[in-house]
Amino acid sequence: MYNILIVDDEYYICEGLHNKIRLLNFPEAGQIRTCLSGEDALEICHTYKPQIVFTDIKMNGMDGISLIHALSKKLHPVQFIVLSGYDDFDYVRGAFQNGAMDYLLKPILNDSLAKVLAKAFSAFQSYPHVPHKFRENLFHLSENLLQKLTQLPANGTPSASFLTGLANEGIEDNCCIAILAFRSPQTYEAMNHKINAVYDTISHVLCNTLSQFEIVIICAAESYEPLKNLLLGTIDANKDSCVGCLMSPSDISGIARLFQRAQEYICLRLPLGYGHLFTDMTPMAKQGIPQKLKHMMNQFIQTPSLIANSAQRITFINKIEELTIPDLNIFYHYFNEVLGAALSTLNYFELSQRCPPLSSFSDYESLENYLYNKLSRYSQQISQHPESSNSLDMVKNYVDTHYMEELTLSALADRFFMSYSYLSKSFHKTFHMPFQEYLRMVRMEHALEFLKNPNLSIQQIAANVGYENAFNFSRAFKSQYGVSPNHFRNNS
């Protein structure tokens, strides 16, 4: 049975509609309640959860459109039916845009009322198969914003459209982020049930899945405590299979960094297991990557046959499990980068696939299987192309693809676990030029292509190839080609 709420600022309309619905004798009709304002309706719906809401389009105080917009975040599932006069077309159109399913003209005829109610009850028949349909706009919005957030670098500034999307749901100035993660993949229905529980409980919130294992929640700062209580209740009910993290409110402009921190904290499930709610008060310190692990990684790169050695694998895994989460995160990114660089000359199909974030692994076993499988594929590819196993080639390939970034020999030595002096001497000997000369050559080759585009300024081209200002770029260009960038552009 489905509960019904009637909202109209005219008492006789409320009572008349209440009686008409009862006389129609629909077996699906449950409790019927009435109220005389949108504000009263919001208050009632804190405890009363109607599935069908009749609302007048024009009322004193909160109008019907505003009520629909507000209640759509509190009720699930819900169908809105608008009550209007003949001259309310523009209002009715606005109501449909905000989620109304149908409308009734006053005075309300029994036949029209019966048809609309039958349509509403029929829609609920399909609800188990499409559990998100009654919050479709929220689901689409949250999916779109979450996708943008995952693509934003940690120090990136959110776009104006991104911030507007959050502001439209009441998330402004300060926000907090939470992740709810599961040991095993969740069904579509289970995920939607959990997401709707968030919408039913928390105000000013957007929520959606990141994968079959994770739900991401973004809410206004004032919703921090209610969200914390909801997460604790959910985790307590699923102690062996659920874990969460909740970041303290932070300025909305730093939401990308806040999201990255949440992804780091959810990784604490690897050493600490499930049944916890981690916050940014949970201790998480860096200790540094041990030399033994660096040495083993270099051995695997230089001598891929060692990867198949079970003793080496066990030692490798044990060293990984000893890492703190910040260090594991650094090592994981290095691991993927170094194998990508090693294979970049082979056009291996895996390079086009985005590596899963560390936070997506539900336990050490799944992480270790990923690392071992990737090492094994690397070994197989290198066995067919042994000339690609040179560690200096990996450095060169990294420079070739990251030339637009701030690159130093010292940073590359740290990234590839080499000593500065070894890399400096070996690079010069192998490629017959110092590192800085090679970097400048690569940047200038790309600069030639950018100069063919008349829409790009010299300053823009400088930034595109890794220079902070046009002066340094022009000086490097003239050193390489003997003419200034402007001279080259004007005479080519």
H, E, C per residue of 338-361:
HHHHHHHHHCCHHHHCCCCCHHHC
> According to the model, what pLDDT value does residue 418 have?
75
Residue 14's pLDDT is 93
Ranges assigned E (strand) in 25-70: 29-35, 52-56
Could you read off the pLDDT of 279-328 as tens digits, one per residue?
Answer: 988 887 778 888 778 778 777 777 777 777 777 788 888 889 989 999 99
Q: In 3-state terms, what secondary structure has residue 454? A: coil
Dist. CA 371–CA 332, nearest whole Å: 9
CATH of span 2-125: 3.40.50.2300
Output the DSSP codes for 201-259. Answer: H-SSEEEEEEETTEEEEEEEGGGHHHHHHHHHHHHHHTTTTEEEEEPPPEEGGGHHHHH
Phi, psi of 487 (to 5 degrees): -65, -45
For 135-279, CATH gives 3.30.70
For tokens 């990255």, name the residue.
260
Q: What is the pLDDT of residue 293?
A: 83
Those residues whose C-beta lies under 8 Å from the C-beta of residue 466, and which sit 6 or more positions away, are 403, 404, 405, 406, 407, 443
Compute the chain's Rg from CA coordinates: 30
Assign domain 400-492 to a CATH class: mainly alpha
DSSP state for residue 172 in the 8-state scheme: -
SS3 465: coil
What are the respective helix, strand and coil percentages of the chain, to the nearest 5? 60, 15, 30
CA distances from 168 to 69, 165, 206, 220, 281 (A): 11, 5, 11, 12, 30
65's CB contacts (< 8 A; 6+ apart) are 57, 91, 94, 95, 98
What is the reported pLDDT for 129?
43
Supply the pTM of this predicted model: 0.59
Please report the pLDDT score of residue 168 as a whole number.
80
Q: How far apart are the first and last CA of the chain?
A: 77
The Cα–Cα gap between 180 and 39 comes to: 33
239, 274 in Cβ contact below 8 A? yes
Please list, in sequence order, all residues whose beta carbon lies within 8 angstroms of the beta carbon of residue 131, skipping any fewer than 6 positions away: 77, 189, 192, 193, 196
The ranges of the chain with pLDDT < 70 are 86-91, 94, 97-98, 126-136, 341-354, 383-391, 492
> Is the Cβ–Cβ distance between 243 and 269 less than 8 Å?
yes
Contact 52, 26 (CB under 8 A): no
Give 368-409 as a DSSP string.
HHHHHHHHHHHHHHHHH-GGGG-HHHHHHHHHHHSTTS---H
Residues 110-160 pLDDT 10s: 899 999 999 888 877 755 444 445 566 777 788 888 989 988 888 888 888
Q: What is the dihedral of CA 189, 194, 200, 202, to 10 degrees?
A: -150
Tell me how far apart the alpha carbons of residues 468 and 463 are, in angstroms, rounded to a whole number: 6
